[in-house]
Chain A
Amino acid sequence: MKQRGRGIACMWYPIGFTVLANPSAAVVKVNEDGTATVLTGTVETGQGSLTVLGQIAAQELGIATDDIKMVSADTDTTPMDTGAIASRTTYVTGNAILLAATNAKEILFEVAAPLLGVRPDQLEAMDRKIQVKGFPQKYLPIGEVAHQAQFVKGRPALGSASYNPPTVAMDPETGQGKPFSTYVYATQVAEVEVDDETGEVEVLRIVAAHDCGTPINPTLVEGQVEGGISMGVGLALQEEILFDDDGKQINPNLTNYIMPTSLDMPDVEVEIVKNFDPTGPFGAKGVGEPTSVPTAACIMNAIYDAVGVRVTDLPATAEKVLKLIKEKKAAEQKQISA
């Protein structure tokens, strides 16, 4: 018979390297038509990070995402970056790009201020305009200011900056220290169906509530969560590299190494938990890795809720779950007969 169960798991996860420096540097060039080009050494690995970084630069310059051209990942032409690792890109590279954009913007303000008859600190960049704070009727289009900066004042609006998350080294004896600048938090809840005659587990539904600080792009946050959950389902139920007695892998191929396909995916419902981290770019932290952290745990707790067995060794294959169910039944019978 199929038995239903629910399970919950929460987690915390840091952004950036453990104590070690992991800087990012960036260059932001405002072009003379008011668009901008960002140079970054980070690598787009399919998660959409370049789009998120473009949005950060656009926000600071008061222009739109499509007004940004991202140039990335060339050791000769782009500034150094620690790379797409440790869920750090939005936070660390994002902060570097934000600072570089601020520097470029300062030049625009200095050029625009006399034209608008105010001080640079009275200006803001918004809706593709450099405008007077509290008096938005008084403005210049950003393209005109950038053009003036380059061709009239001879000061191209260019900014460069770097960022490294602040940490405090850990004591080698006790581990006490501040290894990370910030952390994210999340909870996932799973609903499963366990066939108590075969041990097969089907994950029906996962609700995932993730904190990432400000979601720079909610669609890409949701995409990360869905992808992370698919990896979590694989870790929980299916995937395992197996070795023979001589230490040779026996399933180094996708025929015998079983990964979740779209048919194995539960319904995923994503909630972005409201949060704002003042140390992140526009309050953002990160989301990449944490998405796959609590999935296996909540599925194991749901299996326990469904059939009363505790899987202590991943993955929870049908064979393993069935064995535990049989052991539990045998123990119960023994108890009754005793």
Chain B
Amino acid sequence: MHQWGALVRVFAYLSLLTVGGGMAAFPELKAESVEVHQWLTFSQLVHLYSVGQLSPGPNMMMIVPIGDWAGGIVGAILVVLAFFGPTGLLTFGVGRAWNRLEAWPWRASIQKGLAPVSIGLLLAGCFSIAKGAIFGLDTAAIAVGVLLILLRYKVNPALLVLGGAAVGLLAYL
């Protein structure tokens, strides 16, 4: 399959952008998988990402179907290795060094400085996915409803995503 190399390159690159959460990589994920390589459509990407929030474990496992569609089961395995390998090694190395850097004054600076940037990247990712998910009053109401409920009450977010599916179905029926 000639897509295997591209899958590995793209997902290894994307993995390094996931500072603060998988959503931080969403704008580049869209650019690479929808626009450059055309492995899937934007609306399929939004659907997969959203359904992926219902799955347990790391919340970016929606990359598995992209790998499968573009390169079969080998593509799916390669995508997981590419997405978790480089950052895994980095975390392993930095995790060991980090304990020794406890007294290093820049350690706190790096943590404080990366916080607003990673929040900004999450927000940018959120705007990017909203373009494929918020189409009118009904969808906006679901998003705002989920936001308010989560800020107010301790609810399992997966239940609210299921609730969104129920509201979507009811609106259709």
Asked if A and B bind, the verdict is no
Residue numbers of A with Cβ under 8 A of B are: none
B contact set with A: CB distance below 8 Å: none
